[in-house]
Every structure is written in structure tokens, then in C-alpha cells.
Amino acid sequence: MEGKLRYGSVVLWLVIVALITSCSSSGPPDPKSAVISFFGAMEKDDKAALAHLLDLPELMKTINEDYALQTDSPRVFTNPIDVLEDLTGEGLTKKRWFSLQRIIGTTEVMGESATVEVTFVDKDSSRGYRTKFGLHIKNGKWRIYSFKTFQEAAGP
């Protein structure tokens, strides 16, 4: 009888652990993790990973502002491959963003959309560019659809 009780306790314990694990892993990870993964994919020039982290059709709709920073006029991308090439290798955005210190700040989640503040700091000119990456849940994962620059600040 004691052996059956022990076996039943072990089975119950395993069921509880499985339930806890499935509940904690349901849903997408937090948006900040997606932004961190995005910068990691950029660093590795991993276009496939970037394609899974970005909502490329939505990102391409941004025509009034160039997310590369420090540009006089916005660039318009005509296809997703151009965006991926801009974010990898010798792409203008990758070169500019990786020449600056990147600080990932606060996250604000509003249902199935979120913003993650990212500040790019040019230490040489004491200038910072505050951005809010826009994310939304698409196919069960956080996808970046916007790199909105909302403040440029000169240093002291």
C-alpha cells in the first residue's frame, strides 16, 4: 500500500510540474526579449532570424521617417530584402546603430501591442536618440513593426 501511495505522489508531482511548465511557457516571451534577440540577429547578420522577429510588411509602410538615424531625408524600401540588407552586413542602419551605444529601456505592454524604449548614444558628440520600437503579437510571437525616433537630445 505504501508503494502505491509513493507512486501516486510521484505521478501527482509530475502532473503539477507539467502544468506549471505549460502555463509559464504559454504565450510569447516579453517584448524586451524580442528586441534583444533582434540586436543579436543583426550582430550575427542572421537575415532568417530577423525575418522572424520583424513584421516586414508593416515596417515597410514607414515612409515619413528614416529609422537609420542621422539622415536628412527618409529612405523608402521597396521590398523586404532591402530592409534585411539594411539591417545586416554593410547596411547603413546596421553601421549607424552599431557605432552607437544601445541602451534598452522601459517596456510598455498594451494588450497585444507594446513599445520598448531604445536609446542610441553617440559618446563622441554627446548626443542621444531616443526611440520606441513598436511591437505587436503576430502568429503568437512579438514582432517589431516600427523603429520610431521620438527625441533627439544634445548633450551638455
**Residue 33 contacts by C-beta under 8 Å, 6 or more apart in sequence?**
142
As a whole-number percent, the residues of the chain with pLDDT over 90 amount to 51
Element (H, E) at 100: none
Give the pairing of strands 101-110 and 127-138.
unpaired
Provide the β-strand partners of residue 102.
Answer: 120
Task: Give pLDDT tens digits for 4-47.
Answer: 545 445 444 443 444 444 444 455 679 999 999 999 999 999 99
pLDDT at position 62: 67
Between CA 65 and CA 90 the distance in angstroms is 21
- CATH 3.10.450.50 holds for 28-154: yes
**Can you state the percent helix, strand and coil of the chain, rounding each to 5?**
40, 30, 30
Distance of CA 58 to the CA centre of its chain: 14
Please give the average per-residue pLDDT across 52-60, as a whole number: 91
Domain ranges of the chain: 28-154
120-138 pLDDT per residue, tens: 999 888 888 898 999 999 9
CB 155 within 8 A of CB 128: yes
The closest alpha carbon to 31, from 118, 91, 108, 146, belongs to: 108
User: Percent of the chain, pLDDT > 70?
Assistant: 69
